[in-house]
Amino acid sequence: MTYPLFFCPSIEGGGVEKNLYLISDYLVKQNHKVHIVTANKNMKKYFNKKVIFISPNSNKWCLSNRIIKTFICVFLFFRMKKNFLIISFQSNIFAIILAKLFNLKVIVRANTAPEKYLKSFFKKLIFTIFFKMADCVIVNSIDFKKSLKKYLGVNSKVIYNPIKTKKYKKKKFFKKKLNIINVGRLTEQKNQLFLLEALSKLEKKFKWTLKIVGRGNLEKKIRLFIKKNSLSKKVELLGYKNDAIYEISKSDLFILSSIYEGLPNVLIEAQLTGTPIISTDCRTGPREILMDGKLGELVKINNETQLLNKIKNFYFNKKTLYNKASLAKKYLYRFDYKTNCESYKNLILKFS
């Protein structure tokens, strides 16, 4: 019998990992014997107890960089029995090589718009060769599918990110102070420094606070910026939170400042809570989730003037963005938990 094995060397607490948690949980409840190979033994507590974790005995590798974790997982894979269907959520080329070495089927889930990391001819060639060797490539947005076809000539299957729906109290218009939230790893990609620089230039008549949920390699740099610009009373770094959606539900405005994405879960979570959204119009995902600006505001990447104007407009004219947030709930069916998890289940059955 063939069992599904998720290959995710570094579980870092981002959107990819949330999808891994939801999909693996659903499959276990559908009586699949789910395995996960990862170097992050410390994340086991967040998963269904019936998920079989294959990881190092020690937690010392948890803070290693992704390439070291990938080699650890390759080593772990060589020690396992090989009756698996590999579903790669990370380090896809390594997963494909393992599948070909052991004559296994492999499903690859691409997570990031290819134009952001395939800037050299050599990289483009390598990814084209290996992705065409996969039995199936999954992407999480229509725009992403188009990008993959354009850059790699690879056909892919769109499966939106699944999200469990929950009712939240209707948002009330904020009064004097605007409580903003940003959720994402503290990295160049998520671009929180740009957001902080923009907010620091708001005139004194605008009362605001910012909560940033996430952790990452730019934390020290972000903390230094906050200190240098006397923003300690306005900005709070909350670190990683497994229930970040709860923090979103308490906020007045969600701002996504990313340079690139796949399909940002946090925007969907903001829609679920009815929180108004301003997002960069980065590839890929935000424009698709926000339906060309129908369900939230879009601004150009790193365009400080546009972002500040959108914030000021919201500050003085709340109704427009609240109406968009209310309308967004009607389109959450696209990310239905059962529908999208069933798509993964059907693929597993097809290739098992």
Instruction: Tell me which of 168 and 288 has the higher pLDDT.
Output: 288
Query: What is the residue-wise DSSP string for 199-241?
Result: HTTS-TTS-EEEEEE---TTHHHHHHHHHHTT-TTTEEEEE--
Task: Give me the pLDDT at residue 340, please.
Answer: 97
How far apart CA 92 and CA 194 sit, in angstroms, is 30
298-332 residue pLDDT tens: 999 999 999 999 999 999 999 999 999 999 999 99
- pLDDT average, residue stretch 219-234: 96
The separation between CA 233 and the C-alpha centre of its own chain, rounded to angstroms, equals: 29
**CA gyration radius, the chain:** 21
pTM across the whole model: 0.89
Task: Give me the pLDDT at residue 251, please.
Answer: 95
* Confidence band, pLDDT 50/70/90 cuts, at residue 103: very high
How far apart CA 176 and CA 205 sit, in angstroms, is 10
- From the list 93, 68, 75, 84, the residue with the least C-alpha distance to 34 is 84
- pLDDT average, residue stretch 327-343: 96
* Confidence band, pLDDT 50/70/90 cuts, at residue 176: confident
* Confidence band, pLDDT 50/70/90 cuts, at residue 344: very high
* Confidence band, pLDDT 50/70/90 cuts, at residue 138: very high
How far apart CA 167 and CA 148 sit, in angstroms, is 35
User: Strand 35-37 vs strand 297-299: parallel, antiparallel, or unpaired?
Assistant: unpaired
Residue in the block written with tokens 């990881």: 55
CA distances to 28, 44, 47, 240 from 50, rounded to whole Å, are 7, 11, 8, 24
How far apart CA 105 and CA 7 sit, in angstroms, is 13
- pLDDT average, residue stretch 57-77: 91
- Contact present, 257 and 190 (Cβ < 8 Å): yes
Q: Which of 133-142, 162-171, 270-279 is predicted with the least confidence, judged by mean pLDDT?
A: 162-171
Domains (range + CATH), the chain: 3-162+336-351 (3.40.50.2000), 178-334 (3.40.50.2000)
